[in-house]
Amino acid sequence: MDYEKYNDQPEFKAALHEMFTSLDDSILNDPKYAAVIERIVEPDKIITFDVKWKDDQGNIRVNKGYRIRFNNVNGVYKGGLRFHPSVNLSILKLLGFEQIFKNYLTGLPMGGAKGGSDFDPKGKSDNEVKNFCYAFMKELYPYIGVNIDVPAGDIGVGGREIRYLYEAYKEYSGKSDCSLTGKPLDLGGSLCRTEATGYGVTYFARGALKTYKDTNFKGKKVIVSGSGNVALYCLKKVTEYGGTVIAMNDSNNTIYAPNGIDFETMRALKEDRRGRIKEYKDLVNDEVTVLDRKDIWSIKCDLAFPCATQFELDIEDAKKLIANGCIGVFEGANMPCTLDAANLFIKNKVIYSPGKASNAGGVAVSGLEIEQYLKNEKWPFEEVDLKLKHIMKTIFKNCYDTAKELGDEYNLIKGANNFAFKGIADKMLSL
Ligand code: NDP
Ligand code: 2IT
């Protein structure tokens, strides 16, 4: 695979490099897959548009909007929308490419897509966020629908944004199909979607800890980076399983709380008040130290869950974690570890799970939200949670078995990529 033509898209290039350096020779040397490789790296369609919205001073502001339909061989285009100032085509192509294989791993009929905008919801009023969401959907609504393309949330797009986006979709299209997932319950959302990604990565980790190290969460010191949707529900489930989450961060600070972080205090701070993580110190009667964002990986821990953003953990961070005795790194975010950091974990027999496998719980429950809509059913929380557990268990098994068959038991990058690439490529060849 020649990546040179993607030099101006470094994040996407990194995702291609991760995939094509991990595939087994039996795939790479098979002529029937060569043509597939050429096709699979190009999105089916890239939709770009300007989003013109009104701020509270009455000024018209402009942001870029994107939807990348990457590949629908496995089902309708499916993947989140990210609102963050860093959003560009390269990052969305990384995320859309990953989504093809992640969605295949869930076992549900979903293709890969991603979208978003360089709009920054931080510091904006509810009214401005609403104006932006309506303006964004005014451009996007003709392209989405339950039978074509179903977006959801990602960084900067949570329950509030999905509510505005879905209301706008209904208003502009006149339709009320399941064209977005992660919807609030009153708009037809699924129970357990809010929790799904954070719970899912914890279920994946539980299976991996048992299989590789015959151990569990009890008594483990755990670091969870980020403090958004994925990080919060990872904190909750890890704590329920007997682990102690001693550090979390946001894009400014890390907090270190050696006795453990309280889920409800953190949830209320981040979800209800949209506060900054350093404020946590003033909310609890316990030892809490405020550090810089990057200091998080210098703290001694048994397990790490990077749940913030791409490339937040590099090789220097990996060296520190290994030296401090960390035995497992489970990605809740999309590609948070650089490839050389990931390879160092694997080499040192630290369990390492790539995001496309271990964070698939979110999109899996999005798939279950669509299924409930199509069957006109509403499943109880426990039923969705049970299905999520089963899906995560199956993903781990498929990745682990494939890695083992390839003679590289600790390499879940190889496990995930060989299993999913072959599955997608075979479907493309059978068309
Ligand atoms: P949120 O917007 O809820 O939270 C994002 C968190 O990451 C915040 O704590 C944010 O801090 C931090 N963060 C974002 N960008 C940066 C940055 N450039 N540097 C440092 N910290 C940053 O997003 P989610 O929790 O939904 O998403 C987190 C990760 O999980 C992303 O990689 C996403 O793609 C992935 N993911 C999400 C799924 C979902 O269902 N939501 C499903 C699968 C993967 P701050 O508040 O300071 O910006
Ligand atoms: O990266 C991801 O898998 C998500 N942001 C969730 C996508 C979805 O469609 O639920």
Is-contact 103 78, C-beta < 8 A? yes
Q: Is the beta carbon of 181 within 6 A of some atom in ligand 2? A: yes
Residues 124 and 233 in one domain: no
From 131, 3, 33, select the one nearest 423 (Cα to Cα). Answer: 33
| Residue located nearest, by CA, to atom 9 of ligand 2 | 79
Tokens of 401: 């078995």
Question: How many C-beta atoms lie closer than 10 Å to residue 177's C-beta?
Answer: 18
Residues 91 and 219 in one domain: no
Residues 183 and 203 in one domain: no
* 76 secondary structure, DSSP code: E
Q: List pLDDT tens digits, range 178-209.
A: 999 999 999 999 999 999 999 999 999 999 99
Residues 116 and 71 in one domain: yes
Residues 156 and 59 in one domain: yes
Among 358, 380, 401, the domain boundary falls at: 358
From 348, 423, 396, select the one nearest 101 (Cα to Cα). Answer: 423
Q: Is the beta carbon of 362 within 6 A of some atom in ligand 2? A: yes
Is-contact 319 298, C-beta < 8 A? no
Distance 199 CA to ligand 1 centre (A): 15
Residues 340 and 200 in one domain: yes
Residues 267 and 292 in one domain: yes
Residues 47 and 144 in one domain: yes
Among 311, 342, 358, the domain boundary falls at: 358
* Residue 26 exposed, middle or buried by CB count within 10 Å (0-12, 13-18, 19+): exposed
| Residue located nearest, by CA, to atom 44 of ligand 1 | 333
Q: Is the beta carbon of 116 within 6 A of some atom in ligand 2? A: no
**Which are the contacts of 358, defined by CB distance < 8 A and separation ≥ 6?**
200, 201, 204, 205, 330, 331, 332, 392, 395
The answer to whether position 292 is within a domain reads yes
Query: CA 417, CA 20: separation in Å to the nearest integer?
Result: 9
**According to the model, what pLDDT value does residue 34 have?**
87
Residues 203 and 156 in one domain: no
**Dihedral, 201, 107, 74, 346 alpha carbons, nearest 10:** 50
Indicate which atom in ligand 2 lies nearest the CA of residue 110. Answer: 9
The answer to whether position 236 is within a domain reads yes
The answer to whether position 53 is within a domain reads yes
What are the backbone angles phi and psi of residue 60, rounded to the nearest 5°? -90, 125
Q: How far is CA 261 from CA 93, 220, 267, in A?
A: 35, 14, 10
* 337 secondary structure, DSSP code: B
Residues 126 and 98 in one domain: yes
Instruction: Give the DSSP per-residue string, 364-402.
Output: HHHHHHHHHHHHT----HHHHHHHHHHHHHHHHHHHHHH
The answer to whether position 114 is within a domain reads yes
- Nearest-ligand number for the alpha carbon of 292: 1
Assign residue 205 the CATH number of its domain.
Answer: 3.40.50.720
The answer to whether position 13 is within a domain reads no
Q: Is this structure's pTM higher than 0.95? A: yes
Please compute Rg for the chain using Cα positions. Answer: 21
Distance 305 CA to ligand 2 centre (A): 17
Sheet holding 303-306, edge to edge: 289-292, 253-256, 244-249, 221-225, 303-306, 328-330, 351-353
Distance 38 CA to ligand 2 centre (A): 25
Catalytic residue among 114, 130, 183, 221: 114
Indicate which atom in ligand 1 lies nearest the CA of residue 252. Answer: 47
What are the backbone angles phi and psi of residue 285, rounded to the nearest 5°? -100, 65
C-alpha 37: how far from its chain's center? 24
What are the backbone angles phi and psi of residue 359, rounded to the nearest 5°? -105, 15
| Residue located nearest, by CA, to atom 30 of ligand 1 | 333
Residues 228 and 339 in one domain: yes
Q: Which of 154, 194, 229 to mutate to test the pocket of ligand 2 (most atoms within 8 A of CB)?
A: 154
* 270 secondary structure, DSSP code: I
The per-residue pLDDT string of the chain (431 residues; one tens digit each, 9 = 90 and over) reads 788 899 999 999 999 999 999 999 999 999 999 889 999 999 999 999 999 999 999 999 999 999 999 999 999 999 999 999 999 999 999 999 999 999 999 999 999 999 999 999 999 999 999 999 999 999 999 999 999 999 999 999 999 999 999 999 999 999 999 999 999 999 999 999 999 999 999 999 999 999 999 999 999 999 999 999 999 999 999 999 999 999 999 999 999 999 999 999 999 999 999 999 999 999 999 999 999 999 999 999 999 999 999 999 999 999 999 999 999 999 999 999 999 999 999 999 999 999 999 999 999 999 999 999 999 999 999 999 999 999 999 999 999 999 999 999 999 999 999 999 999 999 999 98
**According to the model, what pLDDT value does residue 1 have?**
77
Residues across the chain: 431
Is-contact 77 111, C-beta < 8 A? yes
Q: Is the beta carbon of 308 within 6 A of some atom in ligand 1? A: yes
Query: CA 124, CA 431: separation in Å to the nearest integer?
Result: 47
C-alpha 325: how far from its chain's center? 26
Indicate which atom in ligand 2 lies nearest the CA of residue 182. Answer: 10
Q: How far is CA 368 from CA 34, 97, 204, 237, in A?
A: 34, 22, 18, 20
Tokens of 380: 């109880």
Name the H helices within 257-380: 263-267, 315-323, 339-347, 355-358, 361-375
- Number of structural domains, the chain? 2
The answer to whether position 152 is within a domain reads yes
From 398, 306, 406, 293, select the one nearest 350 (Cα to Cα). Answer: 306
- Nearest-ligand number for the alpha carbon of 294: 1
Q: Is the beta carbon of 197 within 6 A of some atom in ligand 1? A: yes
Distance 139 CA to ligand 2 centre (A): 21
Determine whether 404 is an active site residue: no
From 188, 173, 261, select the one nearest 222 (Cα to Cα). Answer: 261
Residues 183 and 217 in one domain: no
**According to the model, what pLDDT value does residue 256 have?**
98
Buried b (16+ CB within 10 A) or exposed e, 51-81: bebeeeeeeeeebebbbbbbbbbbbbbbbbb
The answer to whether position 345 is within a domain reads yes
Buried b (16+ CB within 10 A) or exposed e, 226-248: bbbbbbbbbbbbbbebebbbbbb
Among 307, 342, 358, the domain boundary falls at: 358
Boundaries of domain holding 86 = 43-187
Q: Which of 366, 371, 372, 384 to mutate to test the pocket of ligand 2 (most atoms within 8 A of CB)?
A: 366
The answer to whether position 394 is within a domain reads no
Query: CA 160, CA 133: separation in Å to the nearest integer?
Result: 10
Assign residue 128 the CATH number of its domain.
Answer: 3.40.50.10860
**According to the model, what pLDDT value does residue 279 have?**
98
